[in-house]
């Protein structure tokens, strides 16, 4: 009879694991233990009051509150627009000064001295994030959510000829890759925006959800159809350029207006060339979400340019940024891992890739026209300076 | 959804056929949309004024106002209405007819080459017209709702003018 396997009690204890670097934890202890001690004063006050059996009830005072001005719902329910109609809840500062979590419109002045300051909140200018359509887009985004697990007729998915299936899966691999950045970019800025701009934060949260769903649905489509195929360095550099944009407005221009404008064209093309109703449904649902993001990008840039103190200087800065941005986006959108599967799907097979490239060339022209139109709508005329050729490189 | 549409298609097809293009045809689509609020609530808000234009000898231009979950106004485009529409979809009668017949044949789901986006993406045969890029983008923001607006035509019989 063989010796029984060692029981868990026979094993030596594992060495202690430090999930958090020691110096980070020490630094945190020091900060909240010795440097920032206001919370300890508050705790002490609270302790004394509770021990004495006293109630404060200061929070029932309404002298400095906007108490009794009740918001009324519209036909859609209670929207931000409905609550913002009640003075002063809709008053948004030009520059946010409350760099903590105190809600806009609450009684917060008396507590200013005891409030913490979050240094992460450093996008404080309304001109760097507001768009006049942001509340509408937020409501629309919530109302038009869908579920990549249940709302796609996955059971209708049929195998395609190998070249078309590979092209579809490569296109989905590309879209999975780029949709990650479209979620990470708003996430990167979301936490830097103070609470006074709650409407923008709310909209960015919906964009995050949209992009999570997009990478989910394209990942699922690829794996259901054969598998994920090739990642691409050309995509990655464009995504890095978006992530590292020097300001929220510039990054939003590059991601939402230019990048997502192009992806919107790809989604529309995807719907057009879809070989199954499953793919039709995926692309149609995604293109709706993408168009919302594009609309925010256009109006955010417009708001920025309309309100900066020196419009000419801001325009020149945007042009300098776009000069670079257009080139890196062009790098991504000339990658073989994108153009070739698209051409195969447009042409109808690998043996018709040349014809597909011609069609892709026509779509390229349409896209550049749309891009320049959206720039003009935002008050940013790129027609004389656009670095992306109006004709597809393979047709020149 | 498919079952409900199929059922109403059977019921609808006992009724008098509606001619396309006509104001009454679009009014029927609006009524069907408004009767199916649960589906609209699933699809989400649709807020735009969409123009639908048939060119050629049987020309007709109609505007449909979508608000929240309903089609609230259907009218023949008048002289003063030119700027009301956020965007207009324009095509020859033959294009519209092929799409509507495909929807009917598919019991509310058009063939792969007969969806609104498929027909409009290359700029032909269905033209997407708008002076304002932001308003033009509404066509994309509400595309599924607009597709299902037309898909509901499977619920009744459409007749077309003979050439």
What domains can be seen in chain A, in order of their start residue? 126-395 (1.10.620.20)
> How far off is chain A from B68, nearest CA to CA, in Å?
7
Nearest-Cα residue of chain A relative to residue B138:
A291
A290 — contact with chain B (CB < 8 Å)? Answer: yes
Show which of residues 12-71 on chain A sit within 8 Å of chain B, judged by CB atoms. Answer: none
In a domain, B160, yes or no: no
Query: Per-residue confidence at A130, pLDDT binned at 50, 70, 90?
Result: very high
Residue A384 pLDDT > 90? yes
CA angle A140, A123, A39 (to 5 degrees): 105
Of A271, A373, A377, the CB nearest to B117: A271
**Residues of chain B neighbouring A284 (CB-CB closer than 8 A):** 115, 117, 143-144, 147
Distances (CA, A) of B80 to A299, B50, B74, B152: 28, 15, 15, 29
- What pLDDT shows up at residue B11? 44
Whether A280 sits inside 8 A of B44 (CB atoms) is no
The mean pLDDT value for B113-120 works out to 98
In a domain, B163, yes or no: no
**Residues of chain A neighbouring B140 (CB-CB closer than 8 A):** 264, 268, 287-288, 290-291
Q: What residues of chain B have any CB closer than 8 angstroms to a CB in chain A?
A: 43-45, 47, 68, 109, 112, 115, 117-118, 121-123, 132-134, 137-138, 140-144, 147
What total number of domains does chain B contain?
Answer: 1
The mean pLDDT value for A14-40 works out to 85
- What pLDDT shows up at residue A1? 46
Query: Per-residue confidence at B79, pLDDT binned at 50, 70, 90?
Result: confident
The mean pLDDT value for A274-289 works out to 96
The mean pLDDT value for B3-17 works out to 52
Burial of A175 by CB count in 10 Å (0-12 exposed, 13-18 middle, 19+ buried)? buried
pLDDT tens digits, one per residue of A369-383 = 999 999 999 999 999
| A-B contacts at Cβ under 8 angstroms | 78
How far apart CA B124 and CA A368 sit, in angstroms, is 18
**Residues of chain B neighbouring A362 (CB-CB closer than 8 A):** 122
Residue with tokens 């290359």: B122
Whether A277 sits inside 8 A of B112 (CB atoms) is yes
Residue A232 pLDDT > 50? yes
ipTM for the predicted complex comes to 0.90
In a domain, B61, yes or no: yes
Residue A22 main-chain phi, psi, to 5 deg: -55, -45
pLDDT tens digits, one per residue of B126-161 = 999 999 999 999 999 999 999 999 999 999 999 999
Query: Per-residue confidence at A10, pLDDT binned at 50, 70, 90?
Result: low
Name the 3-class secondary structure at B162.
Answer: coil
In a domain, B54, yes or no: yes
For residues A322 and A5, which has the higher predicted lDDT (pLDDT)?
A: A322
| B139 CB-side CA count, 13 A | 27
| Strands B158-159 and B127-129, bridge-based pairing | unpaired
Query: Per-residue confidence at A34, pLDDT binned at 50, 70, 90?
Result: confident
- What pLDDT shows up at residue B9? 41
> How far off is chain B from A32, nearest CA to CA, in Å?
46
Burial of A150 by CB count in 10 Å (0-12 exposed, 13-18 middle, 19+ buried)? exposed
How far apart CA A256 and CA A244 sit, in angstroms, is 14
pLDDT tens digits, one per residue of A320-369 = 999 999 999 999 989 999 999 999 999 999 999 999 999 999 999 999 99
The mean pLDDT value for A43-48 works out to 96
Range of the domain at B96: 2-10+17-154
The mean pLDDT value for A6-21 works out to 69
Query: Per-residue confidence at A35, pLDDT binned at 50, 70, 90?
Result: confident
- What pLDDT shows up at residue A6? 55
- What pLDDT shows up at residue A5? 55
Nearest-Cα residue of chain B relative to residue A273:
B118
Whether A272 sits inside 8 A of B123 (CB atoms) is no
Claim: this prediction has a pTM higher than 0.90: yes
- What pLDDT shows up at residue A279? 97
Distances (CA, A) of B24 to A121, B70, B126: 56, 17, 22
DSSP codes joined into one string, A105-174: TSS-GGGGGG----TT----BGGGT--TTHHHHHHHHHHT---TTTSS-GGG--PPPHHHHHHHHHHHHH
Residue A45 pLDDT > 60? yes
In a domain, B74, yes or no: yes
- What pLDDT shows up at residue A21? 85
In a domain, B148, yes or no: yes
CATH of the domain at B150: 3.30.1050.10
Whether B123 sits inside 8 A of A366 (CB atoms) is yes
pLDDT tens digits, one per residue of B38-73 = 999 999 999 999 999 999 999 999 999 999 999 999
In a domain, B161, yes or no: no
**Residues of chain B neighbouring A140 (CB-CB closer than 8 A):** 44-45, 47, 141
Choose, out of A268, A286, A361, A383, the residue to mutate when testing the contact with B (most B CBs < 10 Å): A268
In a domain, B67, yes or no: yes
CA angle B6, B10, B12 (to 5 degrees): 110
Residue A9 pLDDT > 50? yes
Tokens of A313: 């200087």
Are A222 and A228 contacting, i.e. CB atoms less than 8 angstroms apart?
Answer: yes
């Amino acid at each position: 009879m063989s010796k029984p396997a060692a029981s868990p009690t026979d094993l030596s204890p594992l060495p202690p694991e430090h999930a958090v670097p020691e110096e980070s934890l020490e630094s945190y202890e020091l900060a909240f233990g010795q440097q920032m001690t206001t919370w300890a004063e508050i705790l002490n006050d609270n302790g004394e009051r509770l021990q004495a059996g006293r109630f404060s009830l200061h929070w029932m005072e309404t002298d400095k509150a906007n108490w009794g001005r009740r918001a009324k719902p519209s036909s859609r329910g209670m929207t931000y627009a409905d609550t913002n109609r009640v003075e002063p809840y809709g008053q948004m500062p030009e520059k946010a000064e409350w760099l903590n979590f105190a809600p806009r419109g609450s009684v917060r002045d008396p507590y200013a001295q005891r409030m913490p300051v979050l240094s992460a909140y450093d996008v404080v200018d309304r001109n760097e994030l507001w768009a006049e359509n942001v509340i509408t887009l937020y409501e629309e985004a919530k109302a038009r959510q869908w579920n990549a697990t249940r709302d796609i007729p996955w059971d209708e998915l049929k195998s395609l000829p190998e070249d078309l299936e590979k092209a579809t899966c490569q296109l989905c691999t590309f879209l999975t890759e780029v949709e990650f950045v479209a979620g990470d970019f708003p996430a990167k800025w979301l936490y830097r925006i103070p609470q006074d701009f709650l409407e923008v934060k709310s909209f960015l949260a919906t964009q995050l959800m949209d992009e999570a769903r997009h990478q989910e649905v394209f990942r699922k489509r690829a794996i259901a159809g054969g598998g994920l195929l090739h990642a691409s360095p050309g995509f990655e550099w464009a995504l890095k350029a978006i992530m590292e944009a020097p300001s929220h407005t510039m990054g939003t221009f590059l991601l939402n207006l230019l990048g997502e404008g192009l992806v919107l064209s790809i989604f529309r093309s995807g719907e057009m060339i879809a070989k199954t109703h499953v793919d039709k449904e995926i692309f149609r649902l995604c293109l709706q979400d993408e168009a919302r993001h594009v609309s925010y990008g256009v109006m955010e840039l417009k708001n920025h340019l309309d309100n900066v103190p020196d419009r000419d200087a801001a325009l020149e800065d945007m042009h300098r940024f776009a000069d670079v941005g257009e080139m890196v986006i062009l790098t991504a959108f000339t990658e073989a891992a994108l153009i070739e599967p698209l051409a195969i799907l447009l042409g109808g097979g690998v043996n018709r890739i040349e014809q597909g490239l011609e069609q892709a060339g026509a779509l390229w022209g349409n896209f550049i026209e749309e891009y320049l139109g959206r720039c003009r709508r935002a008050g940013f005329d790129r027609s004389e300076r656009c670095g992306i050729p109006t004709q597809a490189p393979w047709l020149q | 959804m498919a079952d409900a549409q199929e059922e109403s298609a059977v019921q609808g097809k006992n009724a008098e056929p509606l001619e396309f293009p006509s104001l009454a045809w679009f009014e029927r689509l609006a009524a069907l949309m408004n009767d199916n609020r649960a589906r609209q609530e699933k699809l989400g808000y649709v807020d735009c004024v969409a123009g639908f234009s048939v060119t050629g000898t049987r020309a007709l231009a109609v505007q449909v106002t979508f608000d929240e979950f309903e089609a609230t106004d259907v009218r023949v485009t008048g002289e003063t209405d030119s700027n009301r529409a956020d965007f207009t979809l324009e095509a020859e009668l033959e294009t519209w007819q092929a799409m509507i017949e495909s929807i009917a044949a598919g019991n509310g789901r058009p063939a792969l080459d007969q969806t609104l986006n498929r027909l409009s993406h290359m700029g032909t045969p269905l033209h997407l017209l708008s002076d304002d890029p932001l308003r033009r983008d509404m066509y994309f923001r509400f595309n599924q709702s607009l597709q299902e607006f037309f898909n509901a035509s499977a619920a009744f019989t459409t007749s077309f003018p003979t050439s």
